[in-house]
Chain A
Amino acid sequence: MSDALAGLYQQVILDHSKQRTGFGELEHADAQRFERNPTCGDEITLQIDMEPGTDRIASLAWHGSGCSISQASASVLAGLAPGLTTVELHTTIDEFRTMMRSRGVGEPDEDLLGDAVVFQGVSKYVMRVKCAMLSWVALEGCLADVA
């Protein structure tokens, strides 16, 4: 059993689910989205703040409750997003979604996804894909709001 589980719960994921990057609230936010996974009740509120006069994200914060996959995914995203433009983020989110729909096959672009490639193991577990996507969908909503 441990082999199968190890593919899902990579150490990076377990670490991120405990030391959560970006967990908290921003003092000023240009956009905020709330997302909920109705099957399990997991919730996230995600906020972004833009660098003034640019389409570059200055900071991202989130809070909410959920399983280790959803928490780690939000944490990884919070490490990845600041400094990227909305266009770059759309590309990254698309790549992440493609990977999450890959059912464990395919070759995700590591340059684009960074640490987020560890979620490829999650894509084999159809029931858990939504957990990993939750924060990314929230960010997509925020990007639409600042566009």
Chain B
Amino acid sequence: MSPVATDISARTTARTSAETLSEEDVALLRQDFPALAEIVNGEPLAYLDSGATAQRPRQVLGAERDFLIHSNAAVHRGAHTLAGLATEAYEDARATVADFVGAQADEIVWTSNATDALNLVAYGIANASHGRGGEPARRFALVAGDEIVVTEAEHHANLVPWQELAAVTGATLRYIPVDDNGVWDAAAAASVITSRTRVVAFAHVSNVTGFVAPVAEVVAVAHANGALVVLDACQSAPHRSLNLAELDVDFAAFSGHKMLGPTGIGVLYGRAELLNALPPFRTGGSMITTVTMEGADYLPAPQRFEAGTQPVSQAVALAEAVRYLQRVGLDRIEAREEELAERMLMGLAGIDGIRVVGQPLGSPRAGLVSFDVAGVHAHDVGQFLDAQGIAVRVGHHCAQPLHRRLGLTATTRASAYLYTTTGEVDRFIAAVAGVRPYFGVA
């Protein structure tokens, strides 16, 4: 029994190798990823959890190692040779990442992950609301009556910091509701964003539904109302070409580990003018100009946000990951993942008792699919797949409100990346088809 349709779509098969990654391209680049050769529970690993964290190519592993062997030192401190090399590599990495997302180097702040980046903005605004940052920071200050707008589909990382900000400033947190499929549209956003709105924060691509947000429309409404736009780009930056200046968002956040880079490094993008006005969240060494016993003056952005000894080898390795993605081509990665998502959706559609969450087949969707299996808890689904070497994510994917709205406590998520093969997707589909029979519910 093969629930996978043999022909995905006319459009898919018509794509050339300049437009998408062929099976041969994928087979070649998989050789760069040692982790993909692992045997798990006696079966070749089928890693379908890149939405949580991606595997790393040897080029990235090598860049980090080379840096540590030849140039390791603290940056922006000291004057010896290695300190110079390290500082140069660290700043070159910033320029590489800036170029990758259409930004200037001084608009890129290193953080430890996207969560940290989002907290940096929320707590910066909180500090401004408490009068820190002087006159330039007043534009950020929130008072009772002001509103912060998020969506009902947010990852907790882009929800809880805003709840905290509302709690400490007296502002009100409002949200753009999702429909029964767990998605929303520009009209829903426009009905929630008003002249009271000061911040609008949402995910570019949902980590649960793969929904691609109408960024331009939301930015237009938000800016027309004088609100700042904060984009959670965690699930977009690794998978599609991104130009943050063109998107005209005010802040954006993403994590290195989801884009072939290391853990411990993330990125906050902010328009230069805004970053230089936002009060710092963390204070201490390396972010100051003059310190007396009474107070301190801060460096301009991005240094003012980078207190303490920095994750240098991680930044260097992230830049190598960015170069790897650029060599493969973000447009091809996006096209390939769209094909894989379609293959997953068509395969799942042929299995009884599967409810896929998110927009219906045929609407744009990033390369991930979350679903419920009637009568079988997601943990049991995940365990059953794991026994066949297939790694998927199970649970609420850090989006409890969305799951609650969908009437579910947990789902199973399969997420693809540039190294995912159609064979892996087919194994996954065949395995899912066996779940309900195994647990005796079909």
Contact = CB atoms under 8 A, between A and B. Distances in A.
Contact of A69 (B379, B388, B395, B440): B379
Given A18-B440, A67-B379, A1 B396 contact: no
Contacts of A147: none
Chain B facing A: main interface SS: mixed
B440 A68 contact: no
Given A41-B403, A41-B410, A5 B396 contact: no
Interface string B384-422: 100110000011100010010000011000000000000
Contacts of A69: 379-380
Contact of A41 (B376, B388, B396, B440): B396
Report the interface size class on chain B: 20 to 34
Contacts of A1: 41-43, 387-388
B386 to A, nearest CB: 9
Contacts of A67: 377-380
Sorted nearest first, the 4 A-B pairs with minimum C-beta distance are A67-B379, A67-B377, A1-B387, A41-B409
Contacts of B400: 41
Contacts of A40: 378-379, 394-396, 409-410
Interface string B430-442: 0000000011100
Interface of B: 41-43, 376-380, 383-384, 387-388, 394-396, 400, 403, 409-410, 438-440
B383 A8 contact: yes
Most A-side CB within 10 Å, residue of B43, B376, B380, B394: B380
A4 B440 CA distance: 18
Contact of A125 (B378, B383, B396, B439): B383
Interface residues of A, number: 22
Given A4-B41, A40-B379, 19 more contacts: A1-B41, A1-B43, A4-B42, A9-B383, A14-B440, A18-B440, A39-B395, A40-B395, A40-B396, A40-B409, A41-B400, A41-B409, A42-B379, A65-B377, A66-B379, A67-B380, A68-B380, A125-B383, A128-B379
28 contacts: A1-B43, A2-B387, A4-B41, A4-B387, A5-B384, A5-B387, A9-B380, A9-B383, A9-B439, A14-B439, A39-B395, A40-B378, A40-B379, A40-B395, A40-B396, A40-B409, A41-B409, A42-B377, A42-B379, A66-B377, A66-B379, A67-B378, A67-B379, A68-B439, A71-B377, A125-B383, A128-B379, A131-B379
Contacts of A43: 409
A5 B410 contact: no
A14 B441 CA distance: 11
B314 to A, nearest CB: 26
B422 to A, nearest CB: 21
Nearest to B394: A40
A41 B41 contact: no
Nearest to B440: A14
Interface in A28-79: 39-43, 65-69, 71
A69 B377 CA distance: 10
Interface in A1-32: 1-2, 4-5, 8-9, 14, 18
Contacts of B409: 40-43, 65
Nearest to A66: B377
Contacts of B388: 1
Nearest to A2: B387
B387 A68 contact: no
Interface in A80-98: none
Most A-side CB within 10 Å, residue of B43, B400, B409: B409
A42 B379 CA distance: 10
B383 A128 contact: yes
A119 B394 CA distance: 21
A9 B379 CA distance: 12
Contacts of B379: 40, 42, 66-67, 69, 128, 131
A128 to B, nearest CB: 7
A43 B377 CA distance: 13
A5 B41 CA distance: 10
